[in-house]
Structure 1
Amino acid sequence: MRQACRIVAIILQELTEAVKPGVRTMQFEDIARKRCDDFKVKPAFLGMYGFPYALCCSVNEEVVHGFPSDRVLEEGDIVSFDMGVVYDGFYGDAATTAPVGRIDAAAAALLQVTRESLETGITQARTGNDLYDISRAVQKYVEGHGLSVVRRFVGHGIGRKLHEKPEIPNFEPRDAHPVPLQPGMVLAIEPMVTAGGPDVEVLSDNWTAVTKDRSLSAHFEHTVAVTKNGPRILSLVD
């Protein structure tokens, strides 16, 4: 899984480096597919549940599951990439949000808080903690900065399947039953945060989820192993 996730991290890094005003988002799909071919791995999302692309590419108010297209990025946009691969039967999954040129202070704060909420959640992925310690940490951090956590989409366990139990909400569910964290569990933790309200809706393509109030949204994700020595982030280049 470390190798699968490392490949995802490399692809995300290259996608981020390619972000600039004037680029069509389909170019990112081309990069993702070429790098999968180079690494001889299978794009995890392509064809899953009928999804037609290797890459989820979501711009501005698009929360997740956006389609690469002929859309041209403009100065001040933000763009989220969610990528997964299958390597030797194991899945890797990660996501990041990048600025397009110069972005305003509110958008920059959204990216920073979302990234830091993921880091805060990861610190709770420790043996002996409860799964919802992660959820509480993310929610408290995001809402403490006046932003909202998307509730319709959640993180997940990952391994020989992309989506495994347990689900990992970025908020504390009501009447949640304890889920003790144990060494060997691998979790895809992925806060999706909005500058406005938490509600989302899905567009007519039946995939692209957008904020209901059309406020900006950011998405960061790491695949994290729970070990006896604490959390280990697998989706890093180094």
Structure 2
Amino acid sequence: MTITQQEDLDGLRDIGRIVANTMHAMAKAMEPGMTTGELDEIGRKWLERHGAVSAPQSAYDFPGATCISVNEEIAHGIPGDRIIALADLVNIDVSASKNGYFADTGATFRVSAVRPSLDRLCHDGKRAMQIGIAQVGAGKPLAGIGTAIGRFAADRGYTLIRNLASHGVGRSLHEYPEEIPTWPTRSEKRRINKGLVLTVEPFLSKGGLLAADGTDGWTLYSEPAAPVVQYEHTVVATDRGAIVVTMPG
């Protein structure tokens, strides 16, 4: 989607705030002993209460209102009977629509204390997203996002999952540009047009290179097996940089 009027920006800010508040409400309620299905139910009720519709369910018939991925699951985890435990890494990904506007956000949360190396991975994963967002602006190259994130990752000895990309969003969950690399690539020649709505969502890892399919048709795993974190915002490109619409409030 390309924003051309204030009404569009207001609509995106509204759904962006809802998905952000939903994710943070889920994270605040999360505790050891809870199942991922129970956590998803909190998210479902929050979305419904604020007039939003789960995008994974409406667009892809996903078996959950949100995606919840624990430890070895790196994306698209199905909420269910899995019990959340101390020292788990839990990724919560919330996307939804309201009044025809879509927004998408996600983050990896620690359940109590985790190993120092995983704590650093979480901190650096969020920083990688912020570095990518700093490359968003009208007229800038799309490849600049992945170039900057890749430099940051390499400097700190991390890898990036290279088949899970950022994407356009706004009037649907996934739209043009449908694949925006968050890793360095020479083949990406497109530029960011003013008003473009997109996600920035690098998957930072301690050795993982690709996302591999599991057996349930949804859940993705790191290949080779390694810890992975993901942080994601929906942003709008302007002449002055990026407007982040997925902010709680």
Cα contact 1:47–1:53 (8 A) shared by 2: no
Cα contact 2:208–2:228 (8 A) shared by 1: no
| 1:148 partner letter | T
Runs of 5+ consecutive residues of structure 2 not aligned to the other structure: 1-11
Give TM-score scaled by structure 1 length.
0.96
Count matched residues: 237
Q: 3-state DSSP class of the match of 2:170?
A: coil
**Which residue pairs with 2:139 in the alignment?**
128
1:21 pairs, out of 17, 32, 53, with: 32
Tell me the percent identity.
31
Shift of 1:183: 1.6
Could you say what the CA RMSD is over the residues aligned between the two structures, in angstroms? 1.2
**Which residue pairs with 1:216 in the alignment?**
227
**Which residue pairs with 1:5 in the alignment?**
16
Q: 3-state DSSP class of the match of 1:76?
A: coil
- Is 1:95 aligned to 2:101, yes or no? no
| Matched ranges for 1:89-168 at <5 A | 89-166=100-177, 167-168=179-180
Shift of 1:75: 1.1
Runs of 5+ consecutive residues of structure 1 not aligned to the other structure: none
Distance in structure 2 (CA, Å) of the matches to 1:38 and 1:51: 20
Q: 3-state DSSP class of the match of 1:71?
A: coil
Distance in structure 1 (CA, Å) of the matches to 2:89 and 2:187: 36
Q: 3-state DSSP class of the match of 1:46?
A: helix
Give TM-score scaled by structure 2 length.
0.92
Distance in structure 1 (CA, Å) of the matches to 2:224 and 2:143: 28
Distance in structure 2 (CA, Å) of the matches to 1:133 and 1:87: 31
Shift of 1:217: 1.2
- TM-superposition CA deviations, 1:143-193 (whole Å, max 9, x none): 2211111011101011111101112111122422x2122221011111112
Distance in structure 2 (CA, Å) of the matches to 1:93 and 1:117: 17
**Which residue pairs with 1:39 in the alignment?**
50
- Is 1:175 aligned to 2:187, yes or no? yes
Cα contact 2:237–2:243 (8 A) shared by 1: yes
Cα contact 1:143–1:149 (8 A) shared by 2: no
| Matched ranges for 1:47-86 at <5 A | 47-86=58-97
Distance in structure 2 (CA, Å) of the matches to 1:30 and 1:53: 9
- TM-superposition CA deviations, 1:82-127 (whole Å, max 9, x none): 1111110010100011001110111101111110000000001012
Shift of 1:47: 4.4
